[in-house]
A and B are shown apart, each in its own frame.
Chain A
C-alpha cells in the first residue's frame, strides 16, 4: 500500500469517527419531547413594559409550535430555526437594536424556539429587549 493511499484511508477513517461521534453525542443529549397535551404559561413583556399572560394548552412538542398555534409569534426562517421578530403584534425594531429575549422561569433559553421542548407546567417569558 502506498503512503498516499494509507494517508487517504487514515483521513477518511478520522472523518467517519468524528461524524459518528457527533451523531452519538447529539442523540444522547438532544432535548426530549414530551408527548400529549401540555399546559404552559407564556408571559409577554412589551416595549412599554406592559405585561400579558397567556395560558396555552397545546400538544405541540416545541415552543415554536405552541406559540404559532396561538398566532403569538412571527419571524424569519434562519439556519437555526425561527428568528422571532414579532410577538403578540409588536415587532422588534432592529435598527434600534431591539430583540425578543426568551427565558424560562427567568433563565435565558439555551436553544431556539424550534429546539426548545416544552413540558406541562413550564413558564416562559418573552421580553422586548434593547441593545445587543
Chain B
C-alpha cells in the first residue's frame, strides 16, 4: 500500500521536477517497519517499471533498483533518531547525491568518468532543488504523517 502511495504521490507531483514525497515516505516506512520497508520500495520501483517503462526498461529504472533501497539502509542507521531536523538533513543530503547515484550506472555501462562528470555537473541545479524539496517536505510532513501511521498501526494492534 505504501509503495503504491509513494508512486501515486510522485505521479501527482510529476509537473514539478525533482519535488516528490519519496524520501519522507520511505523514511517513515523504515521508522515503522524497519527492513520491511524494502517491500514498499520494491512495489514502488515495480510500479515505475510497469507504468513508466511501457516501451522497454530505461537505464534510469535499473538505477532505481539500488538508489531507493539505499535510502532504506541509511534510514535504518538512524532509525532511533527522534530529531525532525536530522531527518530533514538526511533527506536533503540524499536529494543532493541522488543525481550522481543515478548516474553511477551510466558510468558502469562503459560511459566513462567524463560522461558521468558532465551529467553530474549539468544536473546539479536539479539536485539542489531535490535537496531543498526533501528538506522542506520532511520538515512539514514528517510529524503529521508519523501521527497518522502511528494511529493506524496502534489502532489496528489495539483492535487485535
- A residues at B contact (CB < 8 Å): 4, 7-8, 11-12, 14-15, 18-19, 22-23, 25-26, 29-31, 78-80, 94-95, 97, 108, 110-112, 115, 132
Contact = CB atoms under 8 A, between A and B. Distances in A.
B89 to A, nearest CB: 4
B89 A11 contact: yes
B104 to A, nearest CB: 16
A132 B56 contact: yes
Contacts of B90: 11
A15 B55 contact: no
Interface stretch (B4-12, B35-43, B115-123, B146-154): B115-123
Interface residues of B, number: 29
Nearest to B87: A11
A30 B131 contact: no
Given A15-B131, A25-B124, 14 more contacts: A7-B83, A8-B83, A8-B85, A8-B86, A11-B89, A12-B85, A14-B89, A18-B93, A18-B96, A19-B131, A22-B96, A22-B127, A31-B122, A80-B126
A110 B115 CA distance: 6
B144 interface: no
B27 interface: no
A97 B115 CA distance: 23
B96 A19 contact: yes
Contact of B124 (A8, A15, A22): A22
B56 A7 contact: no
